[in-house]
Chain A
Amino acid sequence: MPFLEIQELTKAYGDKVVLDRLDLSAREGEFISLLGPSGCGKTTALRLMAGFLHPDHGSIALNGEEITELPPHRRNIGMVFQSYALFPHMTVGQNIAFGLEQRRFSQGEIAKAVDGALDMVRLEGLASRHPAELSGGQQQRVALARALVFKPRLLLLDESLSALDKKLRLQMQLELRQIQKEVGITAIFVTHDHEEALTLSDRVAVMRSGKIVQLDTPENVYRAPADGYVAESLGETNLLSGVVADRTEGGFLLDLGDGTLLSVRSEDPVRVGDACTLAVRPEDVELRAGRPAEALLAGRVRSIAFAGNTTLYVVEAQGHEIRVRKPNTASSKNGIAVEDQVGLAWAPNSALVLLEHQDPTSG
């Protein structure tokens, strides 16, 4: 039996259904991210788990115990808010001790646990400071220590890293994951940042319009997205839509609508006339100067953006805008400039075939 089991969780505000019969289950110690744009229902789902909202329908069970009707203060769930929500009138130590005091621990036990928690988040010696005297990263650590110190059954994180600058965020991601593993706590992490979700999670739940579209390991949601929406949610991707023009040996020819025929390797049982979308990650596209014979598409470089460890080329190919991202190594200078003629190609297995009935852009 799963440790956390959510069934048919539904929440609407007036006519607007924010969460639509959401099912989710997590194993003990698992780290699951809810990924999606704002308004997809991920924060509502988190607030329902914390008990700040009451669902219209559905149930939440933790370790076999139904908690749907419990008020938040009796759920024993730790939460880290986006704004941290540290109590400004209390010291760091008092903030961390708060949850323990509510559970009537003795002064001695509290002092020991607070010290241990400060140790865990590497803030030794800051117990007597006030939150306003700490940096963003330190406040983040206090919030995490406060949420974990009373040994909750579940840890909820609401966009908890998004207020930090990028460098600190990457560092905190690693720390957060390490602490979560050490403690062995089950964690649900809400984020709109796909890199964060992929880096941190055991499994990623991609959400759209109050539902989970795909729930799988980071590798699988990235490499085998269920549809174009998921593919785009997990990072830059090129989507090429067209109609199956003819079947070939081990695949088919895709007509991109302007007479351009693209040879696609696929085992899907397609018929001529089927609508189909091809998803190709920018890093999977090969870029060659001139018009090499093996090119699938020919085009002209419209812009080149240097971004440190990678360079982004935007290529216009027969009316389609294709983004190509290449790593920058010391020896990777390819001499391609803006307005150059280039040929584009990709390995057959790196292009994902998304049949129209699965494609969310149509509905």
Chain B
Amino acid sequence: MAAVVLAPILVVVPMSFTNSSTLAFPPHGFSFRWYEELLTNPQWTQRIPVSLETALATSLLATGLGTMAALGVTRGTFPGRGWLTALFLAPLVVPIIDLAVGDYFVWAVGWQAGPLQFGGGLAGTVPGLVLAHTVLAFPFPFITVSTALSGVDRTLELAAAGLGANPWRTFRRVTMPLIGTGMMTGAVFAFLTSWDEVVVASFLASPRVSTVPVQIFTELRQSYDPAAAAISTVLLAAAVVLVGLLTLIPMLARRADRGPALDGGVMAADVTSGGAGIAVTAG
């Protein structure tokens, strides 16, 4: 069972170290030449920043919107909250190709009704990719923050208001620190959603501005370029590190809860070992 799950994931790792000029398994010889290729060939060096920018911006935007939506649905008292929740979760179940076509017609082509225009002109731009990916990534922070909020005692927010904090200060000083773990978790999932997304990105990418996964897809269809295996390995490593961080967040939060006075030393040690872990995985 484990082999079935792991084989397709791990097979690319040895292949990326091949010395041959086409992808093959088992790999021929051993070299870092395809990793050097990643750092020198503009075809890759231009894609990596685009992917990173898109994923980071998507993560921030989706987490911000997801948090607001979660607050509205869990703290609001307006009717139709159930329907709204279903709508917010829809990107999880709508077929990806529908979203891709939809995103294309909204962000690349745009809607026009008389003098009003919405979207359009964003094909081949980072903002276009970010907006499209935010739609996909939005449910993750929405879910994690909703869950976190349901665990926050409402009387804490009332207490803050009673002590003179306006709604924004109440959120900043009381609610947000208590749902921080949920927001971070959502942000990581949102980042990963964008980071390895191919279908939607391929609709909105241009030859000049494209993401790493789209480039891998194109490369593999045209040629068996081992550089694609090398960049896949890097993507895999990044995902592993981020998910590893996720398991670390609650641990750190729990320690912070108990107060730095008691076990600040342990906490510092944890952070260093975590850092070491990242270094090992990435290398």
Contacts and interface: CB of A to CB of B under 8 A. Distances in A.
B74 interface: no
Given A89-B178, A91-B259, A130-B257, A98 B155 contact: no
A88 B257 contact: yes
A85 B156 contact: yes
Interface in B95-118: none
Kindly list the 3 A-B residue pairs having the minimum CB-CB distance in the complex, ordered from nearest.
Answer: A102-B164, A99-B163, A85-B159
Interface stretch (B26-34, B86-94, B169-177): B169-177
A146 B163 contact: yes
B257 A72 contact: no
A133 B259 contact: yes
Interface residues of B, number: 24
A150 B164 contact: yes
Interface of A: 50-52, 71-79, 81, 83, 85-89, 91, 98-99, 102-103, 128-130, 132-133, 146-147, 150
Contact of B161 (A72, A87, A88, A130): A72
A147 B159 CA distance: 9
B77 to A, nearest CB: 12
Given A85-B158, A102-B163, 7 more contacts: A51-B162, A52-B162, A81-B159, A89-B177, A89-B256, A98-B173, A128-B259
B261 to A, nearest CB: 5
A319 to B, nearest CB: 48
Contact of A79 (B159, B169, B256): B159
Interface of B: 153, 155-156, 158-167, 169-170, 173-174, 177-178, 256-259, 261
Given A88-B178, A102-B169, A77 B259 contact: no
Interface centre among B160, B164, B170, B174 (most CB of A within 10 A): B164
A308 to B, nearest CB: 36
21 contacts: A50-B162, A52-B162, A72-B158, A72-B162, A73-B165, A73-B167, A75-B162, A76-B164, A77-B162, A79-B159, A83-B155, A85-B153, A85-B155, A85-B159, A86-B159, A88-B156, A89-B177, A102-B165, A128-B261, A130-B259, A133-B258
A49 to B, nearest CB: 10
Nearest to A74: B164
